[in-house]
Chains A and B, each alone.
Chain A
Amino acid sequence: MTSINVRVDGASYSDDVEPRTLLVHYLREQLGKVGTVVGCDTSNCGACTVHLDGNAVKSCTVFAVQADGSEVTTIEGVGSADALHPVQKAFHEMHGLQCGFCTPGMIMASIDLLQENPSPSETEIREGIEGNLCRCTGYQNIVRAVQQAAGELSGSAGQA
């Protein structure tokens, strides 16, 4: 067991973890942060995407011990039902989700993309979320959602 101190969604946690514990399992099983999910074994699907010190990473491909001393933001920390993040709001507005399983990771990846590129083209959005698989939507409404959120975040009118 290794001791770690992590800030997750604005709260500090001290825990002992086995080194082999994946960050996503730590979040889900020890912290109850079940908003972040696991969809594959090979870091292809991106469902587990969280922000580690502000950058989107696949939490199934990071050990919890590696997050020691770091700040983690999950889908549960970016907004709430009363105060949605613009990207969350845009996914709702543009029907960018169906079953919703990929959605937390998709939103976290999209926020990361928009931080780096505030007004991406359609191609840049599609490539920006290439690490996140969705089986329901065919992605078109996800792309629209990211476009809409980009518009809102940059203060201009949303583009549909």
Chain B
Amino acid sequence: MTVTEDAATLAPAKEVGQPRRRKEDARLITGRTTWTDNMVLNGMLHLAVVRSPVAHARITGVDVSAAQQAPNVVAVLTGRDLAAEQGSIPCAWPVTADMVNPGHPSIAVDQVNHVGEAVAIVVGRTKAAATDAVELVDIDYELLPPVLDMETAVQDGADLVHDELESNTSYHFVFDAGEAGTGVDTEQAFADAEVVVSRRLVQQRLIPAFMEPRSVVVQPQGDNFTMWSATQIPHVLRVMLAMVTGVPEHKLRIIAPDVGGGFGGKLQVNPEEVLALLVARRLGKPVKWTETRSESLMAAHHGRGQVQFIDIASDRQGNVKGLRVRLLADMGAYLRLITPGVPALGAFMFPGIYKFPAYRFECDGVFTNKVPTDAYRGAGRPEATFAIERIMDELAVELDMDPLELRRKNWIGAEEFPFTTVAGLEYDSGDYEQATQKALDLLGYDELRAEQKRRRESNDPVQLGIGFSTFTEMCGLAPSRVLGSLSYGAGGWESASIRMLPTGKVEVVTGSTPHGQGHETAWSQLVADQLGVPFEDVEVLHGDTAVSPRGMDTYGSRSLVVGGTAVVKAAEKVVAKARKVAAHLLEASEDDLEFADGKFSVRGTPGAAVGIQEIALAVFAAHNYPEDVEPSIDAEATFDPVNFSFPHGTHLCAMEVDTDTGMVKIRKYACVDDVGTVVNPLIVEGQIHGGLAQGIAQALYEEAVYDADGNLTTGSFVDYLVPSAADLPHFDTANTVHVAPGNPIGAKGVGEAGCIASTPAVVNAALDAVRHLGVSDILMPLTPERVWRAIHEGGDGGARAAAGTNAYGGAQTESTAGVSTPQSSLGGDR
């Protein structure tokens, strides 16, 4: 047996690529968790928020006297009480130089602009006391006309959300490939085209609907404040709260304990977080606010909300010649953290995986009297992917071509990477054909096509369709310089540090704050490989600005790509520092040392070796270390990527449509994703599954519906339909791997892929099933009613009635969904 074979046999298996069971699970499956709402502090007071029951009104009177006198009520504060100190909820992404931002009070002072906006806060000794007293606060409103429909809101003479502004348009953002030098003239391309297909598509408003309601606890200690919050972004929140409230940044500590999902919905500086801090500062007492689900659906930010006008140009053979996109993007009543940036981020993804020579994108950010929109899983990219994957199908129909053939004809070939797109992005790696072929096999494509044919020929009441989505996305947010060029208010780097403890255990500190993604496990795998230490010896710390002082947190499928790379870079520094100590201890030259499996050994001198965990103890004792180094092998690193990463994949959906009722049912769903290197296949598969569920839910179930008065009628889970296990199919998933060249791990990001890719596959499948019946579009969500109408009446299924279901006697009250007037009660049983 040779030495080489020996090493290979004894070497621990590489951790990266192993389906490690998660370290996080032990506390979660036994109920030993630290959700923010679990926090109890001595003397803690409870906040309840009085919310506007009307969408648009002037506040003409506020009477809090009855509430103030209620038992166990400590204080009642109004917008006027807090006006001088509340500042404005920050908007970090002014996408154009002349973007109009009216400012966003955390609590309304003179005017309310959406149902659910805070108008007063009751502070009680108990949650029940505060909740009871909410009903005693009497507010007079002078109603103003609600602005709800974007296409109406941008007309001349439209009613205004903010009457001090000239219009309801916040900004007009343009990307023109011709002007940018990344493509030819778009107008000319369309003028010369043999075929042009135009569609108006709608991305309905969605609600992130994380399972853990938002919660915040603030503890004042002298001039210091500690805030626990169910947030994705403790680091960003700290900076922003300091700027908004004037509490100095170094006097503010933010802790995100266990956080029950986010999906972008907790990527926010919430009005309630600002208010909790202000109240704690004013009263000098710890306070807690935890929302109800009704509050969450009504007042936490929503996602999506776009009307998309999209034109595609091609020749008769199906070679695409140009793409033109004009968006109306629903901002809601105010601009929150990255409200305006979501559609702007999407601007670069509309060309998808196709080689368009010409591209122009325009977007108007439009104010409406609804809760603001902001990030929701994918943030801009699902909207873009939906549009391009839908219009490719429409073009295929127009050309009488197979939709897959059209895609093949136009997508970037595997040999063409890196490829600079018409939007100016450099796609890193991939093979669209390989992923597609694999997905077709997974689905059993040919058999399903044959069945589809049989069903059509026999005029079966249940028709079958197959939908494609061949997508890519930009992930790993983000190169700081690119963000700067897009006017984003911060960078996209990530930070990590590694502490080598005397006993050889390893503490890894990450600035990327998880809320379900499994960072503790995946980062442990990375570090175990880098340092050659056991997986179990690594502990990952996060989510507390006092423990993890620098970070940009978790969103945009960035954690592994950026944060994981920072961990790897920090580990490299640890090894470099340890190498000097090892050389000293082994009395060898650094150049003669090899580092493998956690040990430095002297090349050619069997037996001369020292482990990195032993070195940790040696530098702790510090009795014997080189003269020219510090007695520490700890290290930190900050990684700033130079490019995005570009996961891609092919998603296929087979859909049954009951033409008698309009009910749709996913028969089979198969997808193949290329997310680069897979660190933990279990976690990657789980992320894909969860994304699919949300993307499918957008296509079939979910929509934030407002009535004619601006009341949210989907104000509870009775009407906002988050699908259950019984409503979703089994998913057949697989991967191809083309490593990302932009980071040493080779990872591309997986958090959003399933959500971005699946929605158009589902809608395309439903349309494929009923296209022969004259249907060319159905609005999302594909309610049975809409599908039935599209089949039997033509059109896109049309608007839904706005009334909520009559279950639970309407399941809605003034406090959950606002006040109903004759306009909003049309046909309803509320």
Decide: B128 and A42 in contact? CB cutoff 8 A.
Answer: no
Decide: A95 and B21 in contact? CB cutoff 8 A.
Answer: yes
Decide: B35 and A101 in contact? CB cutoff 8 A.
Answer: yes
Decide: B726 and A92 in contact? CB cutoff 8 A.
Answer: no
| A129 on the B face (CB < 8 A) | yes
Q: A130 contacts which of B30, B685, B724 (Cβ < 8 Å)?
A: B724
Decide: B25 and A140 in contact? CB cutoff 8 A.
Answer: no
| A16 on the B face (CB < 8 A) | no
| A42 cross-chain contacts in B, Cβ below 8 A | 293, 716-718, 808, 811
Give the interface centre of B31, B294, B683 by most chain A CB atoms within 10 Å.
B31
Q: B213 contacts which of A38, A95, A122 (Cβ < 8 Å)?
A: A38
Given contacts A44-B716, A75-B30, A84-B30, contact A99 B686 (CB under 8 A): no
Decide: B293 and A92 in contact? CB cutoff 8 A.
Answer: no
Decide: B30 and A35 in contact? CB cutoff 8 A.
Answer: yes
| A129 cross-chain contacts in B, Cβ below 8 A | 724-726
Decide: B725 and A139 in contact? CB cutoff 8 A.
Answer: yes
Prevailing SS type, chain A contact patch = loop
Decide: A98 and B518 in contact? CB cutoff 8 A.
Answer: yes
Decide: A95 and B693 in contact? CB cutoff 8 A.
Answer: no
**Minimum distance in angstroms from A96 CB to a CB of chain B:** 9
| A81 on the B face (CB < 8 A) | yes
| A57 on the B face (CB < 8 A) | no
Q: How far is the CA of A139 from the CA of B31 in the complex (A)?
A: 20
| A54 on the B face (CB < 8 A) | no
Q: How far is the CA of A141 from the CA of B726 in the complex (A)?
A: 14
| A103 cross-chain contacts in B, Cβ below 8 A | 28-29
* Residue of B whose beta carbon sits closest to that of A32: B40
Please tell me the number of chain B residues within 8 Å of chain A, measured between CB atoms.
Answer: 59
| B33 on the A face (CB < 8 A) | yes
Decide: B730 and A99 in contact? CB cutoff 8 A.
Answer: no
* Residue of A whose beta carbon sits closest to that of B26: A81
Give the interface centre of B26, B37, B211, B293 by most chain A CB atoms within 10 Å.
B211
Decide: A104 and B31 in contact? CB cutoff 8 A.
Answer: yes
Give the interface centre of A35, A98, A126, A132 by most chain B CB atoms within 10 Å.
A98
- The stretch of B83-91, B255-263, B638-646, B769-777 in contact with A is B255-263
Given contacts A93-B21, A100-B29, A142-B725, contact A134 B211 (CB under 8 A): yes
| A159 cross-chain contacts in B, Cβ below 8 A | none
Which residues in window 25-75 of A have CB below 8 A to B? 28, 33-42, 44-45, 47, 74-75
| B694 cross-chain contacts in A, Cβ below 8 A | 135
Q: B24 contacts which of A35, A100, A104 (Cβ < 8 Å)?
A: A100
* Residue of A whose beta carbon sits closest to that of B687: A98
Q: How far is the CA of A138 from the CA of B24 in the complex (A)?
A: 19
Decide: A97 and B25 in contact? CB cutoff 8 A.
Answer: yes
| B396 on the A face (CB < 8 A) | no
| A157 on the B face (CB < 8 A) | no
| B515 on the A face (CB < 8 A) | yes
Q: How far is the CA of A155 from the CA of B371 in the complex (A)?
A: 53
Decide: B261 and A99 in contact? CB cutoff 8 A.
Answer: yes
Given contacts A42-B808, A75-B31, contact A100 B717 (CB under 8 A): no
Interface string of B165-193 (1 = CB under 8 A from A): 00000000000000000000000000000
Decide: B722 and A135 in contact? CB cutoff 8 A.
Answer: yes
| A80 on the B face (CB < 8 A) | yes
Decide: B29 and A138 in contact? CB cutoff 8 A.
Answer: no
Give the interface centre of B21, B30, B260 by most chain A CB atoms within 10 Å.
B30
| A130 cross-chain contacts in B, Cβ below 8 A | 724-727
| B682 on the A face (CB < 8 A) | yes
Q: How far is the CA of A85 from the CA of B763 in the complex (A)?
A: 41
Decide: A138 and B31 in contact? CB cutoff 8 A.
Answer: no
Decide: A34 and B292 in contact? CB cutoff 8 A.
Answer: no
| A122 cross-chain contacts in B, Cβ below 8 A | 730
Q: A84 contacts which of B29, B213, B727 (Cβ < 8 Å)?
A: B29
* Residue of A whose beta carbon sits closest to that of B39: A34
Interface string of B18-61 (1 = CB under 8 A from A): 00011011111111110101100000000000000000000000
Decide: A79 and B30 in contact? CB cutoff 8 A.
Answer: yes
**Minimum distance in angstroms from B533 CB to a CB of chain A:** 23
Decide: A135 and B293 in contact? CB cutoff 8 A.
Answer: no
Decide: B258 and A100 in contact? CB cutoff 8 A.
Answer: yes
**Minimum distance in angstroms from B309 CB to a CB of chain A:** 32
Interface string of B706-723 (1 = CB under 8 A from A): 000000000011100010
**Minimum distance in angstroms from A20 CB to a CB of chain B:** 8
| B29 cross-chain contacts in A, Cβ below 8 A | 75, 84, 88, 91-92, 97, 100, 103, 107
| A133 on the B face (CB < 8 A) | yes
* Residue of B whose beta carbon sits closest to that of A142: B725
Decide: A101 and B211 in contact? CB cutoff 8 A.
Answer: yes
| B731 on the A face (CB < 8 A) | yes
Give the interface centre of B25, B210, B515, B730 by most chain A CB atoms within 10 Å.
B25
Decide: B212 and A92 in contact? CB cutoff 8 A.
Answer: no
Between-chain CB contacts (< 8 Å), 9 pairs: A37-B37, A42-B293, A42-B718, A84-B29, A100-B29, A102-B211, A104-B31, A129-B726, A138-B754
Q: A41-B293, A100-B29, A141-B685 are in contact. List 6 more A-B contacts (CB 8 A).
A: A37-B35, A45-B722, A75-B30, A100-B28, A133-B211, A135-B690
**4 nearest A-B pairs in the assembled complex, by CB-CB distance:** A35-B31, A100-B28, A99-B516, A101-B260
